[in-house]
Structure 1
Amino acid sequence: MQAGPAGADAAGPAGVGRVIYFDFDSFTVKPEYQGLVDQHARFLQGNRGRSVAVEGHTDERGSREYNLALGQKRAEAVRRALTLVGATDAQIEAVSFGEEKPAVSGSSEDAYSQNRRVEIRYR
């Protein structure tokens, strides 16, 4: 097995999801995502040289400014959850894209629910 970015761990823990979904107008990490957060936090704790960007996203409802702020609150909520389990602040950058990078297009509740998310991206 190779070490560093070309190794098996380059993208973080194997077989662990990288997306956390949120309820409408909420930035609370739901209990069903705590296991996912825990696994990423333990990976980061064991690999102090690794870092992640946690990217907050929203659906298209609300103003651009509101959605950027909500996306940031979602990213910060995941960042806090990761640090509570053992990752360090220095390993995590919380950023917001608001409604600018939807996962899916459309104006249905299904599309909205898939766009209300935080994505964990390893660097």
Structure 2
Amino acid sequence: MVKSFKTAMTAATLAALVACSSNQEAEDTSDADAAAAAEAAAAEAAAAAEAAEKQKCASAASVFYFDFDQSLLTANSRAALLVQAECLKKYTSSVRLEGHADERGSREYNMALGERRANAVRDFLVLNGVAAADIETVSYGEERPAKTGSNEASWAANRRVELK
């Protein structure tokens, strides 16, 4: 009787150990699955954030307008250029700034005005962390109007710098 009691107790102890071992393996697998799921969720969130950032960059303004006979950036242009500066630092290796003017003034004056405008945008981008070596400026003066016509609406559309 004692012998069968010892055998029964040994068997019960072994069964309990096997059960505990099985539960430990299940817990280890469950922890590994949870960690993998958390890692996958974090990667997915990072990818979504990256996609949202790229979308913001793609939809950011790339044309910046100026007042008559001015090369000073407007408040709206500065705000849009801050977004562009962040995007250029992250995603673009080089950019070309094309300066334009309306038809009023001589050809030479408008070429110089377009250049001053492109340089104003370049300087702002450089001050906000974009490498100067990655920025090319060119002036087209009045030669490439965005809108034809000799009225204020056309002139306003032509006083610009385009980021390409």
Same topology, TM > 0.5:
yes
More helix by share: 2
Match of 1:6 in 2: none
Check conservation: 1:44, 1:91, Cα contact below 8 A.
no
Give the corresponding residue for 2:64. Answer: 20
Give 2:8's aligned residue: none
Aligned AA for 1:29?
L
Distance in 1 (alpha carbons) for counterparts of 2:80 and 2:93: 17
Aligned to 1:92: 135
Higher relative contact order, chain-length normalized (CA < 8 Å, sep 6+): 1
C-alpha RMSD of matched pairs (Å): 1.8
Match of 1:104 among 135, 147, 157: 147
TM-score (norm 1): 0.85
User: Any unmatched runs of 5+ in structure 2?
Assistant: 1-46, 48-53
Matched, 1:40 2:84: yes
Q: Which residue of 2 aligns with 1:5?
A: none
Q: Please report how far the alpha carbon of residue 22 of structure 1 lies from its aligned counterpart in structure 2 after TM superposition.
A: 0.3
TM-score (norm 2): 0.65
- Cα deviation, residue 57, structure 1: 0.1
Instruction: Show the 5 A alignment for 1:42-121.
Output: 42-47=86-91, 50-121=93-164
Residue pair 1:75, 1:95 contacting (<8 A) in 2 also: yes
Partner Cα distance (1:17, 1:43) in 2: 11
Aligned to 1:4: none
Q: Measure the CA separation in 2 of the matches of 1:36 and 1:93.
A: 19
